[in-house]
Each structure stands twice: as structure tokens, then as C-alpha cells.
Structure 1
Amino acid sequence: MLQLFLRNCAFRIIAVGKVRKGWIQDGLAMYQKRLPGLMITEVRDASLPREAEAILAALNSNEVLVPLSEEGEALTSVSFAKRLEKYGSQRLAFVIGGADGLSAELKNSTQWQLSLSAMTLPHELARLLLVEQLYRAQTILQGGKYHRGS
């Protein structure tokens, strides 16, 4: 079921700010080709309350909000793939904050927060890492050769 879910990209990324670094743009473009239909919605940098408003306004009623946060759940790539599989055909909206992160109210209003690292990451790099992990999850669940870890 998730193979179809990922192939149809039943998820999107809502990100604060724009990607300005060329090498990150190139990486995102490469993974977006591998994940046709992946949508990335950019929200303008502002104060945390305004960013939260913009994120919630961009969220569709059928989407499950999944903020990325260093306090979130740290998963291995295989565990991440299995977690995505549990959501089945539900549409997930992963949210990446800007330089100041995400508001506590936004993070606390969700069922699940994801951590890419216990370290603070630049939002542009977090976007690239998330897209790569979404692609990796797809290949894990399809039994592809991209993921070689255990």
C-alpha cells in the first residue's frame, strides 16, 4: 500500500523561507524527479506567530501535520519508512521552520514530531535531508537497492 502512497506522493513539505544555495536546489531537483508529484510549499519568513498562521493556512483539511523539530522523535531510516507505512493513504504535511524554528503552539498541537537530528540544522539543509529520507523510505518499502543499511 505504501508503495502506491509514496509513488503518488501523499505527502508534501511546508517550509519557511526559500532555498538560496544552488547545491541544495540541485539536490532537491534530483529527488523531486525521483518522487514525482512531491509538493513543496514555501511560507514567507516572519515572526513565529505569523509563520504559524501561514503554515496553518497552507495546511489542507485532509493533511496530518508533522513538524520537524530537534525535540521530535528520532528514527532510523527503516523505522521512518515503517512509520510512513502506518499512515497508509493519509496525506502528511511535513513542516520545516525557519531560522527561529517553529512556535511551541504549532509543535504541541500535533500527534507526531519528527527529528532529523538532535543538532540544529539550517532549514535549507533540513529540507534536502527530509526529501532524501522520503525517497529512501520509498526504496526501503519497495525493496530497492538504494538503501544498503540494516
Structure 2
Amino acid sequence: MRVSICAVGRLRAGPEKTLIDDYLSRFERTGRALGLGPARMVEVDDRKGGGMAAEAALLRKALPGGSLLCTLDERGKVISSPEFSERLAGWRDAGRQDLALVIGGADGIDPDLRAEADFSISFGAMVWPHMLVRVMLAEQLYRAATILAGSPYHRV
């Protein structure tokens, strides 16, 4: 199952980008034998300042056709890392070819796009900067793959 992290905004070179690249590389190495990956980062940028609706239009264009849509949103479900790994495995086992994980801009995800989501995840009640959410999501993808592979990376 291919994974696309679709996010609003451009990430410049720096520690966040380094961490994301590292975790996505680890995810691909670990996930390959499990039918997970490759993973890619897709960035959209609303240069005209059209707000959430314009960002949603750009995000929709970036989504792989027929992908399962999972948003990262404060209203989403808070799940554990093992539960996330089970979801990934379930989607893969159901024959889903593509998973799109969507991270909105500063104002969040447009309500219409949010309503189209197959699932929505929250990283807790706190609101996180979207650049850090990318890092946390990339790490959770890697962690999920290690859980499914039986690796000791994840400790209970």
C-alpha cells in the first residue's frame, strides 16, 4: 500500500525535513516486506491566499485516485500506536492500494474535505504546528511498520 502524506505548506531544509526523510526511509525499508510503502511527501501551497477552501482544492488534486483518505485533525480519533498499526494493516489487507494522510494549513482542514475522509486521527487535544505533525506522522508510520514486523522499536 502506497502512502502519501499530503500537506499544506512547503517545508524548507532543516531539522524537521531531516527527521521526516529519515523516518520515511526507515518506514520504506521496514514496510516493504509487509506490503507497506513506498511513502512520499506531497506539498501544496496556496499562494493566492484563498483560505481553507482553496487549500482543500489543491489537496484534492494531490490525492492519488481512489486513495483512502485519512485526515489529521484535532476532532479526529485519538488512537495508540498499536491501534494505528492495526488500521494500516487492515487497510492494506482490504486491498487498498493508496493511503493519503492529509495535514491542513494553519486554519486546519476545510470542513467539506474533512467530511470526505474515511478516517480522522488526532494527536491529542493540543494543537500542533503542521511542520511538527509531519515529523510525528512520519515517525508513527515507521513505528507502525516495526510493530507489524515484530521489531523491539516499540516498547509497551
Taking structure 1 as the reference length, the TM-score comes to 0.88
Identity in percent: 38
Selected match of 2:143 from 136, 141, 148: 136
**Contiguous gaps of at least 5 residues in structure 2:** 29-37
AA at the equivalent of 2:22: M
* 1:69 equivalent in alignment to 2:70: no
Verify the 8 A CA contact 1:66 1:113 in the aligned structure 2: yes
Query: How far off its partner does 1:21 sit?
Result: 6.4
**Contiguous gaps of at least 5 residues in structure 1:** none
In the TM superposition, what whole-angstrom CA distance separates every residue of 1:38-71 from its partner, at most 9, and x where no partner exists? 1110000341111000111111222111111010
Query: How far off its partner does 1:35 sit?
Result: 2.6
Verify the 8 A CA contact 1:18 1:42 in the aligned structure 2: yes
Partner of 1:54: 58
After the TM superposition, which residues 35-46 of structure 1 pair with which residues of structure 2 at under 5 Å, given as runs?
A: 35-36=27-28, 37-45=38-46, 46=49
AA at the equivalent of 2:15: W
After the TM superposition, which residues 1-150 of structure 1 pair with which residues of structure 2 at under 5 Å, given as runs?
A: 5=1, 10-20=2-12, 22-36=14-28, 37-45=38-46, 46=49, 47-88=51-92, 89-90=95-96, 91-149=98-156
AA at the equivalent of 2:133: A
Aligned-pair Cα RMSD in Å = 1.3
State the distance in 2 between where 1:100 and 1:19 align. Answer: 17
Q: How many corresponding residue pairs?
A: 141
Taking structure 2 as the reference length, the TM-score comes to 0.85
